[in-house]
Amino acid sequence: MKVTMVCLEDGIMACGFRKFAGTVESLIPDSRFCFVSTNNLRSLSSALIGDTGGGGKLDADEIDEISQDLAGSDLIGFSSMTGYAALTRAVIQRVREINPKSTIIWGGIHPIIHPEDAILADVDGICTGEGEFAFKQFYNAWVNGQDYSSTPNFWFKNADKVIRNGFLPLQTSTEMESLPFARHAGDEYLYQPGKGFRPMTLHDRLSNNGLSYNTVWSIGCPFKCTYCGNTKFIENDVGYRKLRHPSARYAVAEIQAALAAHPYLSTVCFHDDSFMAIPYDQLAEFAEIWREEVGIPFAVYGVIPNYVRQDKLQVLTWGGMNRIRMGVQSGSQRILDFYKRPTPPDQVLEASKVCAGFAPRYQIPPAYDIIMDNPIETRQDVVDTLEMLYEFGRPFTLNVFSLRVIPNTELERHMREAGVDIEEISSNYANIPPRWANLLLYMLVVWKPPRWLFDRWLKHVRSSAETQKLYPVRAGLMRAVYMIKRGLDHLRHLDFSTIPGYAGYVAWKLGLVGFWWRRMIPKMEKPARVIRRRRETATEVIEIIDAKQTA
């Protein structure tokens, strides 16, 4: 039986798909893993023009070329987010036309968040929950010619009937410990128009991910923010609000395996939703092992203001954390309430000052996510956000996003009830409109103006729903200065991990990568509380995982 798993998304990061692929490979060693990427978010051009989306589009000939290849498989598993749902549906339809006998399943974020939409595609089934254990049940029945229609975490089509199965219990931390590492080694195939799926090269990896390794350690989020797909996960199982993760040793062993396959990796980026919510003792153990055995910086993207604590930041920075990213979203209490995000502006402001205390000496300035261009915002809501950022602890940088509504979420329902054109506002995600308020965001990253001047500029701020003058030339200049500032912040730390292409790779070859970090880390004062205990080596952890898999 020929089995192919294909991921359709922006770039080749695919944290969830790669973790699932590790399980598939352990079950089906000769399976093939393919990537379709129509928009490289990590390219230099995307960074300069602010293109943060817009992928998911191929012409009919390219869809046919992809489908002709995939149709040769007996079992095809698709994985995609909502932005790639239309493209995934088109490829599935063409594959079905070429080979009606192929078994086709669709997993990933979109079928979980919007299963009613995904099941309408010409598929045999969709995965509506965590896939690792459910897929194993499905595959064992499928390959043996048995009835798989009762497999939990799946919906299946039987003639005109849809079989909606219930959910398996969420993976426990112990069960997560038994799973194979995320798949980052071995043969992988990347689609190239006109050439089909070709073996992925070092150039592909560098142009997409630079020197970064992207992964998650923990799963779960205590919040139910209306704009986030996690609301659907929590609706399926309230246990998703609790953090689950394997041991610190397991997390480090995964990174060591990745470094063995790709020694140029110089930064690990953890994309957890709630990394800082992990208890201190476990973070301290992780930091100690990391400092002793990995020796490269790591970044934490899942920072919630409510869980920012001086002691956690201290021990993680001592261990090797050189960058953090925190979700702020808005400085307006009214909008935060609308998003159902329990992070009062005063608490966000305090967290920013704690984070700023570790930069610029030990860390690259922290990055904060801001959602702009919400059509229900008033002028005062926009001003409240700018006022909060004016008082933020410095230095800092921003990731500015226009609001995008994920289908089948509570936010979509609220927006439609308010008569908002969902498609129109979601298209803004790819390009930040050059409104005056958005220009001030970029300016605040670079410079904190005198109060009298800032007050004068605030008078020009309007809500996104108001007709207002646009400033495309000024926006281009401000964004260029903002990007230069971000680049210099990284360069000062000799951190080349965010530079796509061969520039960072050459710096690594010359020994520049990590030079600053290797000098500064020994100077850091050791936290008072560091957990010391007997820990298995990376080799022992891999042997334990293999033994559990065999059992």
Rounded Cα–Cα distance for residues 16 and 453 (Å): 46
pLDDT of residue 427 exceeding 90? no
Q: What's the CA dihedral at 348, 352, 353, 357 to 10 degrees? A: 150
For each of the domains in the chain, give its residue range(s) and CATH number, in order of start.
Answer: 3-177 (3.40.50.2300), 210-507 (3.80.30.20)
Lowest model confidence (mean pLDDT) among 10-14, 113-117, 275-279, 469-473: 10-14
pLDDT at 43: 52
pLDDT at 550: 54
Q: What average pLDDT does the chain have?
A: 90
What is the per-residue burial (b if ≥16 Cβ within 10 Å, else e) of 344-362?
Answer: ebeebbebbebbbebbeeb
pLDDT at 52: 47
* The two three-digit tokens of residue 284, written as one number: 């301290």
pLDDT at 301: 93
**Displacement of CA 45 from its chain's centroid (Å):** 20
pLDDT at 55: 57
E strand spans, 230-297: 267-270
pLDDT at 211: 93
Spell out the residues 6+ positions from residue 121 whose beta carbon is closer than 8 angstroms to its own: 88, 89, 92, 93, 106
Average of per-residue pLDDT across 180-195: 93
pLDDT band at 229 (very low <50, low <70, confident <90, very high): confident
Rounded Cα–Cα distance for residues 515 and 179 (Å): 34
Is the pTM higher than 0.85? The answer reads yes
Lowest model confidence (mean pLDDT) among 31-35, 175-179, 225-229, 435-439: 225-229
pLDDT of residue 487 exceeding 70? yes
- Burial category of 522 from C-beta neighbours within 10 Å (exposed 0-12, middle 13-18, buried 19 and up): exposed
First and final C-alpha spacing in the chain: 24
Lowest model confidence (mean pLDDT) among 265-269, 410-414, 455-459: 410-414
